[in-house]
Amino acid sequence: MEKLLAGVELEWKALGNDNFVEVANSGRKPVKASLRVAGETPYYGANNIQDYVDGHTHDGEYVLIAEDGSASLENYSIQYATGKFWANNHVHVVRGKSRLNTRFLFHYLSIGNFIPFLSGGGRAKLTKGKMVEVKIPIPCPEDPKKSLEIQAEIVRILDKFTELTAELTARKKQYNYYRDQLLSFEEDEVEWKALGEVGKWYGGGTPSKRQLDYWENGTIPWISPKDMGCPVIDSSQDYITEAAVKGSSTKLVPANSIAIVVRSSILDKLLPSALIPVPVTLNQDMKAIIPHKNILPGYMTANKN
- Chunk the chain into consecutive blocks of 10 residues (it has 305) and report each block's average pLDDT, rounded to whole numbers: 78 96 96 95 95 97 96 94 97 97 96 93 88 95 92 92 82 77 75 84 91 94 90 92 93 92 70 89 92 83 59
Three-state DSSP class for residue 139: strand
Residue 265: the pLDDT is 62
Q: Are strands 281-282 and 220-223 parallel, antiparallel or unpaired?
A: parallel
How far apart are the C-alpha atoms of 264 and 286, rounded to whole Å? 9
pLDDT of residue 80: 97
**pTM metric for this prediction:** 0.61
Q: Which residue type sits at 292?
A: H
What percent of the residues of the chain are helix, what percent strand, and what percent coil, each to the nearest 5? 30, 30, 45
> What is the amino acid identity at position 67?
E
β-pair partners for 92: 65
Distance (Å, rounded) from C-alpha 124 to C-alpha 108?
21
pLDDT of residue 194: 84
Separation CA 74–CA 79 (nearest Å): 15
In the chain, what are the domains? 2-160 (3.90.220.20), 195-302 (3.90.220.20)
Alpha-carbon span 274 to 297, nearest angstrom: 10
Under 8 Å between Cβ of 101 and 152: yes
Q: Are 86 and 41 in contact (CB under 8 A)?
A: yes
Distance (Å, rounded) from C-alpha 254 to C-alpha 268? 27
**Looking at residue 198, what is its pLDDT?**
87
Give CA–CA dist 111/132, Å, rounded: 17
Q: Residue 305: its pLDDT value, please?
A: 45
203 with 248: CB under 8 angstroms? no
